[in-house]
Amino acid sequence: MMTSVDTDILKVLADPLRMRIAQLLAREALCVCHLVEETGARQTNLSNHLKVLREAGLVDTEPCGRFLYYRLKADVVAGLAASLGQMAETAAQTTTTDRKRPCT
């Protein structure tokens, strides 16, 4: 049985800057000042995108002194990857003649 793909997470990651942030956070925990350096985006823009990523459950935060570090939640990304992988596996098993629903 196929698991459902979290379309909310896909929508969040569809934004190019949010996807770039997620890719950077996959490598290491970063604060906003690091993300400004890496992306060239404005601090306020990054903060807004990080809020969206947090609300979607994709990132965790960790205070460190006066800074707040962001970290990608690997389990959430792994769940999304598993759902998409299962969909790809199902599609690969289907040929043009297999599992074709007849028209009536």
* Residues 89-97, mean pLDDT to the nearest whole number: 74
Residue 101 lies in a domain: no
Enclosing domain of residue 36: 7-85
More confident position, 24 or 97? 24
Prediction pTM value? 0.85
pLDDT in tens, 60-89: 999 999 999 999 999 999 999 999 999 888
pLDDT in tens, 17-57: 999 999 999 999 999 999 999 999 999 999 999 999 999 99
Q: What is the CATH number of the domain that holds 16?
A: 1.10.10.10
Q: Is 71 left (phi over 0), alpha (psi -120 to 50) or beta?
A: beta
97 has a pLDDT exceeding 70: no
Residue 25 CB: number of other CB atoms within 10 A? Answer: 23
Residue 29 lies in a domain: yes
